[in-house]
Amino acid sequence: MKLPALLVLLIGLVFILSCSTEKKETPEDVKAPTPEKVAKELTGNRIDNYYWMKLSDEQKNAEQRDEQTQKVVDYLNAENDYLKTKLKHTEGLQKKVYDEIIGRIKQTDESVPYKDNGYWYYTRYEQGQEYPIYCRKQGTLEGAEEILLNVNDMAKGHDYYSITGLSVSEDNNLLAYAEDSVSRRRYTVYVKDLRTGKLVEEPVPNTEGQVTWANDNKTYFYTKKDSTTLRSRWIIKHKVGSSYKNDPIVSEEKDETFYTGIYKTKSKKFLVIWAGSTLTNHYQILDANSPDGKFKEFTPRERGLEYSIDHYGDKFYVVTNLEAQNFRLMETPDSKTAKTNWKEKIAHRKDTLLQGIEIFKDYLVLSERARGNTLMRIIEQKTNNKHYLNFGEPAYTIYPSINIDFDTDLLRYGYTSLTTPNSTYDYNMKTKERKLLKQTEVVGGYNPEEYQTERLWATADDGTQIPMSVVYKKGIKKDGSNPTLIYGYGSYGASMDPTFSITRLSLLDRGFVYAIAHIRGGQEMGRQWYEDGKMFKKKNTFTDFIDCSEFLIEEKFTSPEKLFASGGSAGGLLMGAVVNIRPDLYKGVIAKVPFVDVVTTMEDESIPLTTGEFDEWGNPKNPESYMYMLEYSPYDQVVPQNYPNMLVTTGFHDSQVQYWEPAKWVAKLRELKTDNNTLLLRTNMETGHGGTTGRFKVYEEIAQEFAFMLDLAGIKE
């Protein structure tokens, strides 16, 4: 039956109209993943609905994935898909930021060479290549280049690839290095004959990645990991050409709260086995010319005694907290190293932390810390004359570089600040002249005079003054309208020093203020600063960060509608605690590889890093410690309330903060939060705690994080 032409036209018109009015799905319509809830009761009658997300190494790496493994992987992939959809409208901005960042990097570049045992060593990069090329030249820098390792060739076929621990034998013929292609920080050691370019023996698996050569050119020592906890546990001796399966154990660290390793002194006279926990250090020494001898204890292990040792001439120098909270310098004959023989060389100072020393024939160089800044003090050994290096900036970072020679007047050091790119100097300690050897080039031009850095002080609730390092582009108005990113860490005594960042320019040039909150838990203000931010004083870390955030608002740098916060690992715990306490302060938060399930993790001694951190967080077997940790544990303290926009990141192979902590945290936040703000989880399925490898690939993730903030701040270009 043939339809009239008019009727056909009407039917077609209805079809077209129905198609044109059909609603297309937008990112706002996309539903977030809703993982299954399976109640599991934990200690203290705690119920964890997402405990099932925890997988063992064996489950993650199994070729035949079981049902649970597949369920976890499917959930993480669903979250990645959700993130991609929610941020799809920012892809153009991500690309623009990424291109900006890599456009500032000098692609063909080379490190400052240093001389060691007759060779000049340096690292260089080639145009478009992701990985370094390790090189050396014999005698002079005009000599022929010898490529030790071209990591670009080695990394082919790997999603993740890391080389570490390059170490050359004393006769310059053998190169030991370590490889990790999983991102679990379980390194395999290889030895390459530099005369032939060939590997000389079977690789040694499951190591810490550092190799120390004895002086006989055929013996090296390495540190073997515990396969379950990944704790560095055994010091092993190896003879080149033999099977590692027959290698003898030289030392075993049986205390599960300690880690261990081995190195050779700068004098090359001693091999040193170290063992350390949060509060205690211990050393054993052996003549490096006699690797088959027996290591001798430096001084008996004593809980609470922290120290480090350096050797020169016929004595050891000892930096220690012995009756000195901020550490002092001692010395002792290398034939009588027990604590009873230590004699004071530089006294303790209440207002200055002694972090370490660099020894020269005629000089001592002290690395110190006071009032939030790193310091470098030079002492002439014969006259005891001393002076500090001066830099003329309110907030900066200085550190010793590679100083191999004893008999020299030249000190090589590195310097940087929030406005000064990383710089390497040679400083003549006698004439006080300094020479700039290299400053990181910012391709396309960079003028530090366009930016302003400040050292500010926020007042905590208890009256403590908290230092902050701040940078912004000159010309901004302090009217509360500036988008601002505040960063913090505050754990392990690790100080977050102000350094230059090529990536940060993409924020500063768009009007962002950037602030580092030097909160308690680091050592920016000395050792007490650390003591006041751990164990039963851990909450100071969180309230300090909040006080710094409020200070930026009070001083009209920004407002809660323009303030962003970021932290990673233990700094991710900081982010988790802060958003539970004061979610109203922030427009957005980026929590990277966050340690958020504190109590459950610290109860599981099979997890890497747990036992070694009882003196940092507390042992949950202690009821008082359990209750204190529970009071701030971000995962346990998620409650029904509004939370800021959040981007949470993790790596599937993370050995330090296992992926399931942030994954569970995001699931619980989704379940309980009462707002419509964005909550995203990004899991890199190929990497671990440190993120992706490669010189440029890493910036894709940074560009995404920046775009997340810029979009929320209303900046679209």
Q: Is the dihedral of CA 16, 18, 23, 24 positive or negative?
A: negative
Q: What is the mean pLDDT of residues 235-247?
A: 95
* Beta bridge partner(s), residue 212: 221
Which pLDDT score, from 0 to 100, does residue 691 have? 65
pLDDT at 352: 97
The 8-class DSSP code of residue 583 comes to: G
- Checking if the pLDDT of 389 tops 90, the result is yes
What is the arithmetic mean of pLDDT over 278-285? 96
Residue of 180, 334, 654, 711 with catalytic role: 654
Tokens 């050691």: give the residue.
189
Six-digit token pair at 283? 């050393």
- Cα 707 versus chain centre, distance: 22
Query: Considering 162, 636, 689, 711, which one is annotated as catalytic?
Result: 689
Whether residue 284 contacts residue 338, with contact meaning beta carbons closer than 8 Å, is answered with: no
Give the pLDDT of residue 392.
86
> pLDDT digit string (tens) for 483-531?
999 999 999 999 999 999 999 999 999 999 999 999 999 999 999 999 9
CA 192 from centroid of its chain's CA atoms: 29
| Mean pLDDT, rounded, for 436-440 | 97
CB neighbour list of residue 252: distance below 8 Å, 6 or more residues apart: 233, 234, 235
Q: What is the pLDDT of residue 65?
A: 66
Q: pLDDT tens for residues 365-381?
A: 999 999 999 999 999 99
pLDDT for position 344:
98
* Average pLDDT for 406-414: 97
β-bridge pairing 484-487 and 563-568? parallel
Helix (H) or strand (E) holding 425: strand 423-428
314 is catalytic: no
Side-chain half-sphere CA neighbours of 695 within 13 A: 20
Single-letter residue type at 191: V
Per-residue pLDDT tens for 36-82? 999 999 999 999 999 999 987 667 666 556 888 899 999 999 999 99
For position 585, what pLDDT does the model report?
98
Catalytic residue among 417, 549, 569, 655: 569
What average pLDDT does the segment 426-450 reach? 96
Give the model confidence (pLDDT) of 537-593 as tens digits. 999 999 999 999 999 999 999 999 999 999 999 999 999 999 999 999 999 999 999
Residues contacting 619, CB < 8 A, separation 6+: 602, 625
Ordered domains of the chain (ranges, CATH): 40-102+446-712 (3.40.50.1820), 357-441 (no CATH)
Q: Is 351 a catalytic residue?
A: no
Strand boundaries in 226-314, DSSP class E: 232-239, 249-252, 259-264, 270-276, 281-287, 296-297, 307-312
pLDDT for the residue 68: 84
Q: Which residues contact 289 (CB under 8 A, 6 or more apart)?
A: 214, 215, 216, 269
DSSP for 452-477 reads EEEEEEEEPTTS-EEEEEEEEETT--
pLDDT of 22 reads 42
Helix (H, G, I), strand (E, B) or coil at 363: strand
How far apart are the C-alpha atoms of 387 and 369, rounded to whole Å?
Answer: 15
Question: pLDDT tier at 122 (50, 70, 90 boundaries)?
Answer: very high
Please report which confidence band the pLDDT of residue 351 belongs to, taking 50, 70 and 90 as the band edges: very high
Distance between CA atoms of 247 and 162, rounded to whole angstroms?
A: 25
pLDDT tens across 147-184, in order? 999 999 999 998 889 999 999 999 999 999 999 988 77
Instruction: Give the pLDDT score at 21.
Output: 40
* DSSP string over 28-60: TTPPPP-PPP--EEEGGGEEETTGGG---HHHH
Report d(CA 562, CA 480) in Å as an integer. Answer: 8
Which pLDDT score, from 0 to 100, does residue 298 have? 98
Task: Give me the mean pLDDT over the 210-234 stretch.
Answer: 93
3-state secondary structure of 88: helix
Q: What's the rounded Cα separation, in Å, for the pair 440 and 418? A: 13
pLDDT single digits (tens) 626-684: 999 999 999 999 999 999 999 999 999 877 889 999 999 999 999 999 999 999 999 99
Q: For position 5, what pLDDT does the model report?
A: 44
Per-residue b or e along 559-575, where b marks 16 or more CB atoms closer than 10 Å to that residue's CB: bbebbbbbbbbbbbbbb
Distances from the Cα of 345 to the Cα of 299, 315, 318, 332, 526, angstroms: 18, 12, 9, 10, 20
pLDDT of residue 399: 96
Instruction: Scan for tokens 């940087």, then name that residue.
Output: 416
What is the 8-class DSSP label of residue 340?
Answer: G
Task: Report the chain's terminal Cα–Cα distance, integer Å.
Answer: 59
Closest alpha carbon to 40 in 598, 670, 600: 600
* Number of Cβ within a 10 Å radius of residue 16: 10
CA distances from 59 to 62, 661, 686 (A): 5, 17, 15
Percentage of the chain beyond pLDDT 90 is 85
Whole-angstrom distance, CA of residue 23 vs CA of residue 26: 9
Let me know: does 271 contact 221? Beta carbons within 8 Å: yes
Between CA 337 and CA 335 the distance in angstroms is 6
- pLDDT tens, position by position, 15-33: 333 344 444 556 667 899 9
Portion of the chain with pLDDT greater than 70, in percent: 94
Reference 158, options 694, 706, 600; nearest CA is 694
d(CA 681, CA 664): 10
Q: What is the pLDDT of residue 488?
A: 98
Distance CA 522, CA 533 (A): 7
| Euclidean distance between CA atoms 98 and 704, whole angstroms | 8
> What integer pLDDT is reported at residue 61 of this predicted model?
66
Three-state SS at 275: strand
Per-residue exposure over 106-132, b if at least 16 CB sit within 10 Å of its own CB, e if not: eeebebebbbeeebbbbbbbeeebbbb
Is residue 251 part of the annotated active site? The answer reads: no
Distance CA 640, CA 258 (A): 40
